[in-house]
Amino acid sequence: MEISTKKVLVTGGAGFIGSHLVDLLMSEGCHVRVVDSLINGKLENLKQHEGSANFEFVKADIRDASTFASAVENAEVVFHLACLGVRHSIKYPHENQRVNAEGSFIVLNEAHKAGVEKFIYCSSSEVYGTAEYVPMPEEHPTRPCTVYGAGKLAGEAYARAFQRTYGLNTVVLRLFNTYGPRSHHENDIGELIPKSIVRALNGKPVLIFGNGSQTRDFTYVEDSAKALLEAARCDNAAGKTLNAGSEFEITIEQVAKLILNITKSASSIEYYKNRPGDVLRLYSDTSAFRKLTNWKPQVSLKEGLARTMKWFKSRPEGPSFLLSQEKPINWE
Ligand SMILES: NC(=O)c1ccc[n+]([C@@H]2O[C@H](COP(=O)([O-])OP(=O)(O)OC[C@H]3O[C@@H](n4cnc5c(N)ncnc54)[C@H](O)[C@@H]3O)[C@@H](O)[C@H]2O)c1
């Protein structure tokens, strides 16, 4: 699909990954409309597009079907990223599933009624739960550990059902853990890398929940955004469920040490109790997506961490204010 002439709608486009996707789509020459409730997203992430004739922002909740129906009118491609996070799902499971599962249904239903040409459902490696074998291809069992993972999986199931029943041209792309500038360090949306960078920049110990032997497969955010774009471009991806990870497994403890090294922090690592529902091992097999699209992550973990640290250091709020927004145990 030639995307540069398309009218594209991005749900969750003011968020971390969504705003990088919007940057990419704008640079491709698309007409981009963002729908975001701003519960966790920030207009600041999109300020570079303010005033552009090709850019529109609609502040709305995806669960408001009639508002979303108006927003999706005339859209040719939809990227659905709006969601609430993993840690949020532990304290507020009902609210989390209402957005991630039911909200996804509403977005799919309205996109189908509006006759969109292509729908990209941004899913997550959390649908797998802990790896039963590695690397994990798309056929790996899906046994999510959290309501977040279950809600993302429900959204996938709806996307595949809309493809089969109504012929909605859908791609389900399972991103693995993503990090980079604009990632969240704050409250219940704070994640390991941004939280640890903010703590290290303040000379505070980096926190590990459990013994640090859990593994993840991290992708730099610009690479994840490119994967979403390639999923839309590739006609042969239609109807498929595909992984997009770096195919590089690293322990949480190794990541913490890398962060302390990059930030040149003299502080240490502190070990805490396990996080409820924590996934113990993730390591992607992305060969199917690579073969279809030639997508390959361009930014190494070391380079990506350095760029992320530089971004946090450049924040006008300053490190101590950022630290005041960081909640060490952020699921209770
Ligand atoms: N960050 C990761 O490591 C990661 C990994 C795999 C998959 N994903 C997926 O990527 C997508 C984006 O995640 P992110 O990390 O950028 O998170 P994010 O919280 O930064 O982005 C989600 C956006 O959705 C918006 N939103 C939440 N509820 C909404 C609602 N009811 N109506 C409208 N907007 C709403 C938020 O304001 C936010 O801007 C999600 O679908 C997530 O499942 C993320």
pLDDT digits (tens, 9 = 90+) for 217-243: 999 999 999 999 999 999 999 999 999
Q: How many CB atoms lie within 10 A of CB 332?
A: 9
The tokens for 68 are 């979303």
Q: Which atom of ligand 1 is nearest to the CA of 122?
A: 41
Cα of 197 vs its chain's centroid, Å: 19
Q: How confident is the model at residue 299 (pLDDT cuts 50, 70, 90)?
A: very high
Last residue of one domain, picked from the residues 227, 244, 261: 244
Q: Which residues contact 5 (CB under 8 A, 6 or more apart)?
A: 29, 30
Q: Is residue 331 part of a domain?
A: no
Q: What percent of the chain has pLDDT over 70?
A: 100
- What pLDDT, on the 0 to 100 scale, is given for residue 266? 87
Q: What is the pLDDT of residue 110?
A: 98
- Segment 11-34 mean pLDDT: 98
Residues 119 and 193 in one domain: no
Q: Do 231 and 150 share a structural domain?
A: yes
CATH of the domain at 68: 3.40.50.720
Please say whether the beta carbons of 203 and 270 come within 8 A: no
Domain that holds residue 138: 7-178+219-244
Residue 148 CA: which ligand 1 atom is closest? 43
- Is the domain of 13 the same as that of 100? yes
Residue 115 lies in a domain: yes
> How many angstroms does the Cα of residue 160 sit away from the middle of ligand 1?
20
- For the segment 177-198, what is each residue's pLDDT rounded down to a tens digit? 999 999 999 999 999 999 999 9
| Parallel/antiparallel/unpaired status of strands 206-209 and 118-124 | unpaired
Whether residue 175 has its Cβ less than 6 Å from ligand 1 = yes
pLDDT for 199 equals: 97
Tell me how many domains the chain contains. 2
- Is the residue at 286 inside a domain? no
In this structure, are 72 and 113 located in the same domain?
yes
In a domain, 188, yes or no: yes
Q: How far apart are CA 99 and CA 248, in angstroms?
A: 31
Antiparallel, parallel or unpaired: β 170-175 and 241-244? parallel
Domain contains 288: no
Return phi, psi of residue 327, to 5°. Answer: -110, 110
Q: Quote the DSSP letter at residue 136.
A: B
Report residue 323 as tokens: 């630290």
Clarify whether residues 200 and 238 are in a common domain: no
pLDDT band at 203 (very low <50, low <70, confident <90, very high): very high
In this structure, are 17 and 95 located in the same domain?
A: yes
**Pairing relationship of beta strands 55-59 and 219-220 according to DSSP bridges:** unpaired
The whole-angstrom separation of Cα 269 and Cα 234 is 43
How far is the centre of ligand 1, averaged over its atoms, from the C-alpha of 264 (Å)? 31
Q: Are residues 201 and 228 in the same domain?
A: no
The verdict on 124 and 267 lying in the same domain is no
Is the CB–ligand 1 distance for residue 82 below 6 Å?
A: yes
Element (H or E) spanning 215, and its range? strand 215-216
The pLDDT mean for the chain works out to 98
Give the per-residue pLDDT at 265: 86
Work out the average pLDDT over 35-60: 98
Kindly report, residue by residue over 229-282, the tens digit of the pLDDT.
999 999 999 999 999 999 999 999 999 999 999 999 888 999 999 999 999 999
Model confidence at 167, in pLDDT bands (50, 70, 90)? very high
The answer to whether position 293 is within a domain reads no
Residues 58 and 149 in one domain: yes
Q: How many angstroms is it from 81 CA to the middle of ligand 1?
A: 5
**Catalytic positions, written as ranges:** 148
CATH (domain of 318)? 3.90.25.10
**Claim to verify: residue 129 and residue 89 sit in the same structural domain:** yes
The answer to whether 14 touches 41, Cβ cutoff 8 Å, is yes
| 224 and 267 assigned to the same domain | no
- The C-alpha angle with vertex 256 and arms to 196 and 144, in degrees rounded to 5, equals 85
287 domain-assigned: no
* Residue 120 confidence (pLDDT): 98
**Ligand 1 atom closest to the CA of 36, numbered from 1:** 34
User: Cα(180)–Cα(16) distance, rounded to whole angstroms?
Assistant: 8
In a domain, 1, yes or no: no
CA 227 – ligand 1 centroid, Å: 16
Pocket flag, ligand 1, residue 63 (CB < 6 Å) = yes
C-beta 190 within 6 A of ligand 1? no
Domain co-membership, 162 together with 227: yes
47 in Cβ contact with 71 (< 8 Å): no
